[in-house]
């Protein structure tokens, strides 16, 4: 059984043995992938147009748009549910790492502030190294705890630039 949490509120238990059931209620449905990449879904006699906007494997989250309405669906597989029951829910999630300088360089611009919430892929800092500008991006959703550097300062390889939590 897979648990699906929609928009952080509604929880559904989904079985997919031979037929699809949601919360032990069998659901009549069919889906066809369209040439555009969208999906045409017919469920309980109603037609829906669905589009997958984003899949985040690290957090097991899918963002869908169904008939112009957006939904974020977090998926909990049986192993995730077992770990949660054992009190070690976060054992399989990636830890947020501080941002460190991969090489010596000069900090050109700090793009975040302490306390700021950042999402995976957000630019946080620009470092000039070997006459090239390198944009550092967040590797996961996090909050900026502390900024250890200032603009126009030199940094060494391995030096912590931004502390995340």
Only one residue has tokens 């690290």, namely 58
Out of 57, 73, 92, a domain closes at 92
CATH number at residue 156: 2.40.50.100
Cβ-contact 44, 28 below 8 angstroms: yes
Each residue's pLDDT tens digit, 10-60:
887 777 665 677 777 888 888 899 999 999 999 888 999 999 999 888 788
Same-domain pairing of 113 and 85: no
Same-domain pairing of 22 and 50: yes
Same-domain pairing of 71 and 126: no
Same-domain pairing of 110 and 159: yes
Same-domain pairing of 39 and 105: no
Same-domain pairing of 43 and 12: yes
Look up the domain containing 56 and give its range. 2-92
Tokens representing residue 75 in the block: 């998926």
Tokens representing residue 39 in the block: 């999906």
Q: What confidence score (pLDDT) does residue 18 get?
A: 58
For residue 86, pLDDT beyond 60: yes
Each residue's pLDDT tens digit, 90-147:
555 555 678 899 899 999 999 999 999 998 889 999 999 888 899 999 888 889 999 9
Strand order through the sheet with 160-164: 99-100, 160-164, 142-147, 117-118
Same-domain pairing of 74 and 18: yes
Same-domain pairing of 47 and 106: no
How many structural domains comprise the chain? 2
Same-domain pairing of 127 and 155: yes
Q: What confidence score (pLDDT) does residue 108 get?
A: 95
Q: Which residues pair with 55 in a beta bridge?
A: 62
Alpha-carbon distance 147 to 162, whole Å?
A: 5
Cβ-contact 158, 108 below 8 angstroms: no
Flag whether the pTM goes above 0.75. Answer: no
């Amino acid at each position: 059984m897979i648990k699906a949490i929609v928009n952080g509120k509604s929880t559904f238990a989904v079985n997919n043995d031979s037929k699809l059931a949601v919360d032990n209620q069998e659901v009549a449905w069919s889906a066809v992938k369209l040439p555009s990449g969208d999906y045409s879904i017919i469920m309980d006699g109603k037609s829906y147009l669905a589009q997958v906007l984003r899949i985040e494997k690290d957090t097991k989250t899918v963002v869908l748009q169904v008939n112009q309405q957006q939904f974020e669906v977090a998926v909990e597989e049986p192993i995730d549910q077992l770990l949660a029951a054992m009190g070690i829910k976060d054992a399989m999630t990636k830890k947020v790492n501080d941002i460190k300088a991969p090489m010596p360089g000069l900090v050109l611009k700090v793009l975040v502030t302490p306390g700021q919430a950042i999402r995976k892929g957000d630019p946080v800092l620009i470092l000039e190294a070997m006459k090239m500008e390198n944009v550092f991006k967040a590797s996961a959703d996090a909050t900026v705890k502390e900024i250890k550097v200032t603009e126009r300062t030199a940094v060494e390889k391995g030096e912590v630039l931004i502390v995340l939590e």
